[in-house]
Amino acid sequence: MAPCYPVAPVDSQPGCLEPDDPSPAPPMFRKLLIANRGEPVVRIARAAQALGIKAVGVASEADADASWVQCLDEVVRIPGRAPGESYLVMETLVQAARQTGCAAVHPAWGFLAENPRFAALCAQHGLTFVGPTPGVMQRMALKWPAKSSMGEKGLTCIPGSKGLLSSPEQAAKIATKTGYPVIVKADAGGGGRGMRKVDKPEDLASAFAAASAESLAAFGNGALYLERYLAGGRHIEFQLITDCFGNAVHLFERDCSVQRNHQKLIEESPSPAIDGDTRMRVGEQVAKAAASIGYTGAGTIEFLRRPDTGELCFMEMNTRLQVEHCVSEMVTGVDIVAEQIKVAANEVLSVGQEDLKLDGHAIEVRLNAEDPSANFQPTPGTLEKFSIPTDQGPGTIRIDTHLQEGDEISPYYDSLIGKVIAHAPTREKAIETLVRTLNATVIEGVKTTVPVHLAVLQSPEFKSGQYDTSCIPGWPA
């Protein structure tokens, strides 16, 4: 069992740090704190330990007896249960890293992964943050500055406002020029919060107020911008990795168009909507753009593919590791997490663009403890039975999870049970393998999203590759 310690008292409040002051990185870390919980911790610990790095984690009061902590070499118990009193308390996490002798902090995804203040606090205390510098993160975390930066680098952007909106009246003038429908978006948003689609002028003022209020409550920032709403688009994102020496590669694209309320349900690579020329042209653009702004580490640049022209329009950049990174790993053979850690330790990327080739097709489904028949309400509880087979062929199956039979799914945190990824020589074989696997999966004690995934995978729309973000193919609206 991994040694477990209580967190020591936080010794001081941090001062200010210039956003782009990076902390020096050692040749390779001996210890790495993973500032997260659950499945991300298991994934990152596996990569760190394979590199000879000890993985240190934190566990809240709600996670004190969770089975996933057994993957760690050391565990620091932190107070609180809800995220706001545990995994989101930056000073506590930094203190946990310092008292265990960690040289670096990996934020994984979610929680503080895209918080420039947390990255700056780590640097201030001599800890290497596995990710971009605070200044670059801050610049790209806000949607409008990111859009402006990428537009300057030659990426096409969705038509809309040329900056943040000062009032509903200004939004109305821009919407008239752009044409309806439009969508108002939170500058600091994510996960679909702070967004409102507007179909006609008389609804714009109320949508503006609602989106701003929701964004202020969720992110502490009510600023909005406006874009033309492109119905029937495809959500395409390019995975990239850059190092500290200006080297950058893309690991091709993922199609994440199967969504519910802007939350991804299924991801695949390569996208059936992208041809080879577009793939290489846009991939080269995003890699160069990331390197030109001084980005380091793993990141994702997201696009909306216009249904009328097929053009890829920049939406945002995720300055962190993505939940669905494993899809790209399956089709390229690259351990993205290992590369991310090595880059943070000032190592040169171990792969060049010429080394990267697409190998077959990969599809991922996110299994959540949710009841699809009750508007996807979370269903916390005990996993009385939990079995996902890996021998259903004709392709191969990868399962990323932090849970095992008998574990509790906490009401305090995300409802993700795990990710099931199928890889095969063709898209058809990958779908077949995933359908067979889900049909043989046994999960009892909580309701899950397995029925939704089976409906999508077997729908004519998904099988043909002709689907978009407007609905869940094969599933009733």
Amino acid at residue number 103: A
CB 224 within 8 Å of CB 194 = yes
Cα–Cα distance between 404 and 426 in angstroms, integer?
Answer: 31
Helix (H, G, I), strand (E, B) or coil at 355: helix
Cα–Cα distance between 182 and 450 in angstroms, integer?
Answer: 33
- Count the Cβ atoms, other than its own, within 10 Å of residue 339: 22
Task: Please report where in the chains the tokens 């209580």 appear, as a residue.
Answer: 6
Residue 304 structure tokens: 């909306």
DSSP string, 399-426: EEES--TT-EE-TTS--EEEEEEEEESS
- What Rg do the C-alpha atoms of the chain give, in angstroms? 22
CA 416 to chain centre: 13
Q: How far is CA 21 from CA 24, 32, 90, 116, 270, in A?
A: 9, 20, 18, 12, 37
Is 98 labeled as catalytic in the residue annotation? no
Cα–Cα distance between 208 and 185 in angstroms, integer?
Answer: 9
Cα–Cα distance between 318 and 315 in angstroms, integer?
Answer: 10
Cβ-Cβ contacts under 8 Å for 359 (sequence gap 6 or more): 331, 332, 333
Find the DSSP H helices in 358-469: 427-440, 450-457, 460-464
- Count the Cβ atoms, other than its own, within 10 Å of residue 263: 11
| Segment holding 105, helix H or strand E | strand 104-106
CB 196 within 8 Å of CB 210 = yes
Residue 326 structure tokens: 């494993």
Cα–Cα distance between 76 and 461 in angstroms, integer?
Answer: 48
Cα–Cα distance between 55 and 100 in angstroms, integer?
Answer: 11
Amino acid at residue number 415: S
**Catalytic hit among 228, 305, 320, 436:** 320
Cβ-Cβ contacts under 8 Å for 276 (sequence gap 6 or more): none
CB 472 within 8 Å of CB 258 = yes
Cα–Cα distance between 79 and 19 in angstroms, integer?
Answer: 29
Catalytic residues: 320
